[in-house]
Every structure is written in C-alpha cells, then in structure tokens.
C-alpha cells in the first residue's frame, strides 16, 4: 500500500481524489488545499486527513504527491 498526498481538490482534484481512494494499492493519506471547506468535503468521502505542506513533507510514509492545483 502506497501512502499518497493530493494537493488541490478543485474540480479535477475531486476526480483524482476519488480515483486515488479507490485504487487497491493506494491509501490517500493527506489532502492539502487552502479551501478548508472543499478539503473537508473530499476528506469526508475518502477518509483522508487534511494537512499542510510541512506535515506531508515530513512524513516518511508518504511516497508520492499528486498535484492537481492551478
């Protein structure tokens, strides 16, 4: 299982969040987005944790970041 962080949960980010959350070899561990309301909505559906960049970059379990931000 690979821990992944998603930066950005706008329109396309939500699509990617769903795909990542359903992937059998991925755990969507963190969501980072300045829009707290959008982040909370996606986190509730995917069981991801809302985090900041520093938290993500200091977590050695995170093996990939996915950037879906303009």
Distance in angstroms (rounded) separating the CA atoms of residues 63 and 54: 15
Handedness of CA 23, 27, 32, 38 (dihedral sign): positive
pLDDT tens by residue, 6-58: 999 999 999 999 999 999 999 999 999 999 999 999 999 999 999 999 999 99
pLDDT at position 48? 98
Q: Which residues of 9-39 are buried (b: 16+ CB within 10 A; e: fewer)?
A: beeebbebbeebbeeeebbbbbbbbeeeebb
pLDDT at position 69? 86
Structure tokens at 11: 């329109």
**Record: fold of 2-67:** Rossmann fold (3.40.50)
pLDDT at position 70? 77
pLDDT at position 38? 97
What is the reported pTM? 0.93
């Amino acid at each position: 299982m690979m821990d992944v962080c998603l930066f950005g949960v706008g329109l396309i980010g939500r699509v990617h969040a769903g795909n990542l959350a359903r992937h059998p070899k991925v755990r969507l561990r963190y969501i980072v987005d300045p829009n707290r309301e959008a982040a909370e909505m996606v986190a509730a559906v995917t069981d991801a944790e809302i985090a900041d960049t520093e938290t993500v970059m200091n977590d050695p379990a995170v093996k990939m970041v996915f950037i879906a931000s303009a």
